[in-house]
Chain A
Amino acid sequence: MASPMRIRAASKDGVTEVRVLMSHPMETGQRKNAAGEVIPAHFITELTAKHNDKVVLSAEFGPSVSTNPYLAFKFNGGAKGDKMVVTWVDNKGESRTDEVQIS
Chain B
Amino acid sequence: MKRKLMAAAIGVTAAFAAPLAFTSEELNFDAYRQMLADGNPAELFEMEGEELWVTARGPKNATLEQCDLGLGPGVVEGAAAQLPRYFADTGKVQDLESRLMHCMETLQGIPSGEIIGGKFRQGERGKLASLVAYVVTHSKGKPIAVDVSHPKMQDMYAMGEKVFFYRTGAMDFSCASCHGEDGKRIRATHLPNITTNKGAAEGWTSWPAYRVSNSQFWTFQHRLWDCFRQQRTAEPVFASDVTIALSVFLAAKSNGYEAQWPGVKR
Contact = CB atoms under 8 A, between A and B. Distances in A.
Given A6-B43, A72-B38, A67 B48 contact: no
A44 to B, nearest CB: 14
A3 B48 contact: yes
A64 to B, nearest CB: 14
Given A3-B44, A4-B47, A6-B44, A19 B39 contact: yes
* A contact patch SS: loop
B41 A21 contact: yes
A68 to B, nearest CB: 4
B212 A21 contact: no
A101 to B, nearest CB: 17
A23 interface: yes
A4 B46 CA distance: 12
A70 interface: yes
Nearest to A6: B43
Contacts of B48: 3
B215 interface: yes
A70 B48 CA distance: 17
Contacts of A67: 41, 215
Interface string A69-83: 010100000000000
A21 B38 CA distance: 10
A21 B44 contact: yes
B94 to A, nearest CB: 29
A66 interface: yes
B39 A21 contact: yes
A6 B38 CA distance: 12
Given A66-B212, A68-B215, A23 B44 contact: yes
Contacts of A6: 43-44, 47
A70 B44 CA distance: 11
A4 B41 CA distance: 12
Given A3-B44, A19-B39, A23-B44, 16 more contacts: A3-B47, A6-B43, A6-B44, A21-B39, A21-B41, A21-B44, A23-B41, A25-B215, A66-B212, A67-B41, A67-B215, A68-B41, A68-B215, A70-B38, A72-B38, A72-B39
Interface of B: 38-39, 41, 43-44, 47-48, 212, 215
